[in-house]
Amino acid sequence: MTELGRILKVYNSVLHVAAKDAVILCKLRGRVKKGHGDAVLIPGDVVAFERISPKEGVIERINARTNLLRRPCVANLTQIVITAAAASPNPHPLVISRFLVLAELSGVKKIILCVNKMDLCQGKQEDLLVAYEVVGYPVLRVSAKQRTGLDALRQRLAGEITVFAGPSGAGKSSLLNALDSSLALATGAVSERIGRGRHTTRRAELLPFAGGYVVDTPGFTRQELTGLAPEELAACFPEFSRHTGCRFTPCSHSHEPGCAVKAAVAAEELSRERYDAYIALLTELRSKRK
């Protein structure tokens, strides 16, 4: 009998597959019929397997992926939580937008901004945060330290396959720890402190949480935008698409006269911070191309 399951982790060529009743240790059948071009199985993949004992199976088929993140290597994510700090370090609009662009590029549908360390700044960053809400990103205000806002975050994680991303020091490990101390243990939030080498490469693992999964390593460990053409950047700023009617097509919304996006910024219908971040990233992409 063939069953469906999801790969949680791959360790020593053994695939840990979450089936309905248990985690089944699977091997690949000699020749696996692939539903996609990538031969390597990774966490998040949905597979069909045959059980050969109560705890062991053989993988027969891989379902096509809906998306694939490279760093860490995980498939079929449903959600990315960009974590930033409200203070210490102060939120930098360019850094936040850069992570949001990386999230947009990943093809993962749900993108949330989670602003941690709200205990350090009551209300001070509200204007900045509201700008992202206006774009359409849900913004959660939390404090891992004071344990506030955690229920809202937990609700957002329920049933989803989530990776946390964001600059280091924003408090991703602290948040996972505050949500569930066993998550923190599994993510290495503790072992990191006792000196796990910074250069140790870690394979990603899906950790069951709230009826869904959380990926144990943060996403986009590199912040460079690679493989993106300058003219593709505007599509990663979803709010720009509401302002059509630029005189030139295509329009890079930078130097062209009669630009509807620039007009909207001048009329304060689009956030100045977001537009400035767009121009900074556009300049960076153009200089890479030369």
The residues binding ligand GDP (CB under 6 A) are: 116-117, 119-120, 143-145, 168-174
Q: 112 vs 259, which CB is nearer to Zn ion?
A: 259
98 contact, one of ligand GDP, Zn ion, none, CB 5-8 Å limit per kind? none
259 contact, one of Zn ion, ligand GDP, none, CB 5-8 Å limit per kind? Zn ion
Longest dimension (CA), the chain: 69
> Measured from the CB of residue 33, what is the shortest distance to Zn ion in angstroms?
47
* Residue 259 engages Zn ion in binding (rule: CB under 5 A): yes
Q: 116 vs 252, which CB is nearer to ligand GDP?
A: 116
> Measured from the CB of residue 239, what is the shortest distance to Zn ion in angstroms?
13
* Residue 261 engages Zn ion in binding (rule: CB under 5 A): yes
253 contact, one of Zn ion, ligand GDP, none, CB 5-8 Å limit per kind? Zn ion
- List Cα–Cα distances, 74 to 2, 70, 198, in angstroms: 24, 7, 20
How far is Cα of residue 122 from the mean position of the Cα atoms in its chain? Answer: 26
Q: 156 vs 243, which CB is nearer to Zn ion?
A: 243
- List Cα–Cα distances, 202 to 33, 121, 155, 172, 185, in angstroms: 28, 34, 28, 17, 15
- List Cα–Cα distances, 254 to 215, 230, 238, 259, 275, in angstroms: 37, 11, 17, 8, 10
Task: Answer yes or no: are the C-beta atoms of 54 and 42 closer than 8 Å.
Answer: no
> Measured from the CB of residue 205, what is the shortest distance to Zn ion in angstroms?
43
Build a one-symbol-per-residue string for 8-47: x at contacts with Zn ion by CB under 5 A, - elsewhere.
----------------------------------------
- List Cα–Cα distances, 51 to 13, 104, 125, in angstroms: 17, 38, 54
Q: 79 vs 174, which CB is nearer to ligand GDP?
A: 174
How far is Cα of residue 276 from the mean position of the Cα atoms in its chain? Answer: 23
169 contact, one of ligand GDP, Zn ion, none, CB 5-8 Å limit per kind? ligand GDP
> Measured from the CB of residue 75, what is the shortest distance to ligand GDP in angstroms?
23
Q: 221 vs 241, which CB is nearer to ligand GDP?
A: 221
What is the b/e burial string over 158-193, where b = at least 16 CB atoms within 10 angstroms of the residue's CB? eebbbbbbbbeebbbbbbbbbbbeebbebbbbeeee
Which residues from 228-257 bind Zn ion, rule CB under 5 A?
Answer: 246, 251, 253
The torsion region of residue 258 among left (phi > 0), alpha (psi -120 to 50) and beta comes to: left
Q: 7 vs 163, which CB is nearer to ligand GDP?
A: 163
Per CB under 5 A, residues contacting Zn ion are 246, 251, 253, 259, 261
